[in-house]
Structure 1
């Protein structure tokens, strides 16, 4: 009987952990570490400005410092079109939910800087015109003003 109860408890616990979304986890992490959340909506295999944004900003060492220095938690809500790039059903569902909440116009790329509760602090429609250094500095400045 104890074994059956333990097994059921483990299964319920595992489902509960798995059911937590990346966004909920990001909000918790941001709250604990006093970080901001950078949410990016992209079409990674069809949207040229999205591809440029990732190459010229998101994938750079300068941007990665924002993550390693506990400035931002980064989430990419991707909407690829090519069959070979399709996401899991769970991830698709989460991305649609994020789009329903934050990107009802369906803009790509669309980047939001959020506080740990999910409140929008800044948004960028399309490819940001500033350099990665200016983009990172703007995020750092916003974080400093949050204190």
Structure 2
């Protein structure tokens, strides 16, 4: 009986860890600090969260999935650069997001830029790459390959 309870407790902890919401930062400097400390790349999502149809689908089809949440928790520092139309964001965040979009040449949404802690681009991807991958797991595999190939340079 004790073994059964212990097993259930462990399974419950694992499920809640995987299902826990991902933490998206909104400050690049703080994300860079965490990336340096944890030795992880920064996954920047440029999005129009409340108006861009492809952004909303990308969230539903990829970012909301447990496979992504688990991958992100282990391997990434997440940064959302949002360009909403209805939702209000503070002026400093808005200015930072515009500066980041200009720096990385973002011309459409959604756009994913993976950088090192200093902001050097490792990989750039859009919703089309996700659609070509056909599944969250295949897209994660692609992202991991790109990150790994860059870390070997």
Which bracket does the TM-score occupy, shorter chain normalised?
A: 0.7 to 0.9
Structure 2 CA distance for aligned equivalents of residues 95 and 126 of structure 1: 19
CA contact (8 A) 1:36 1:116 kept: yes
The alignment's C-alpha RMSD in Å is 1.7
Is structure 2 residue 132 aligned with structure 1 residue 132? no
2:110 paired residue number: 109
Give the aligned partner of residue 44 of structure 1.
49
Contact 2:48 2:83 in 1 (8 A): yes
User: Whole-Å Cα distance in 1 between the matches of residues 39 and 70 of structure 2?
Assistant: 16
Unaligned residue ranges in structure 1 (runs of 5+): 1-20
CA–CA distance in structure 1, aligned partners of residues 53 and 39 of structure 2: 33
Aligned partner of 2:148 in structure 1 is 144
- Within the candidate set 52, 61, 68, 1:63 is matched to 68
CA displacement at 1:136 relative to structure 2: 1.3
Find the aligned partners of 2:137 and 2:119 in 1 and give their Cα distance: 25
* 2:36 equivalent to 1:31: yes
Scaled by the length of structure 2, the TM-score of the pair is: 0.72
Shift of the alpha carbon at 1:90? Answer: 2.1
**Displacement after TM superposition at 1:142 (Å):** 2.8
Report the TM-score when normalising by structure 1.
Answer: 0.75
Structure 1 match to 2:11: none
Runs (4 or more) in structure 1 with deviation over 3 Å come to: none
Determine the C-alpha separation between the residues in 1 that align with 2:124 and 2:111: 7
Does the CA-based 8 Å contact 2:122-2:147 persist in structure 1?
no
In the TM superposition, residue 53 of structure 1 has moved relative to its aligned partner by 0.8
